[in-house]
Amino acid sequence: MNSAYGDWLRGSLWTWPALEVVHIAGIALLFGSLVLLELRVLGLAPTLPLPALARLALPLTLGGFALAASSGLLMFAADPGTLLVHPAFRWKMLLLALAGLNAALFHARGGLARCDAPARVQVVLSLSIWLGVILAGRLIAYL
């Protein structure tokens, strides 16, 4: 199903690539800040105060998510009919939901304050899920 917005977006020389750049920058900001924080939860750099790192990393993570989500919604709106039936897109959405649920459970149980075995399992799960989100996103273009 074509729309005027989708036709314009796909036909524009710079708009689609600019959205992709914003999307990738958001993903890099989100994932990069998460990796630093989650590696600290796993025990790397134990002298680095976790609360201070979290105060720096979490707003960057949320900002990256906001960039990726807003640009992703704009790209999705260009061709929702095709994407909704695309297997890689469906996997990406499922993994995004799992990443959000995992993060909510991690913070609800005070994972940053505990850094216990369940917290470490959750951060490994988080990193794995986010890598899956990235992989599924790239597969959208190739499947």
Q: Is the pTM of this model over 0.85?
A: yes
Tens of pLDDT, residue by residue over 12-31, are 889 999 999 999 999 999 99
DSSP reduced 3-state for 116: coil
Q: How far apart are CA 123 and CA 96, in angstroms?
A: 15
pLDDT, tens digit (0-9, with 9 covering 90-100), for 21-78: 999 999 999 999 999 999 999 999 999 999 999 999 999 999 999 999 999 999 999 9
Crossing angle of the two packed helices 50-78 and 4-11, in degrees rounded to 10: 110
Q: For 108-137, what is each residue's pLDDT tens digit?
A: 999 999 999 999 999 999 999 999 999 999
Alpha-carbon gap, residue 92 to 135, rounded angstroms: 8
Domain ranges for the chain, please list them: 4-140
What span, in angstroms and rounded, lies between the C-alpha atoms of 61 and 23?
A: 13
Residue 24 in tokens: 């990738």
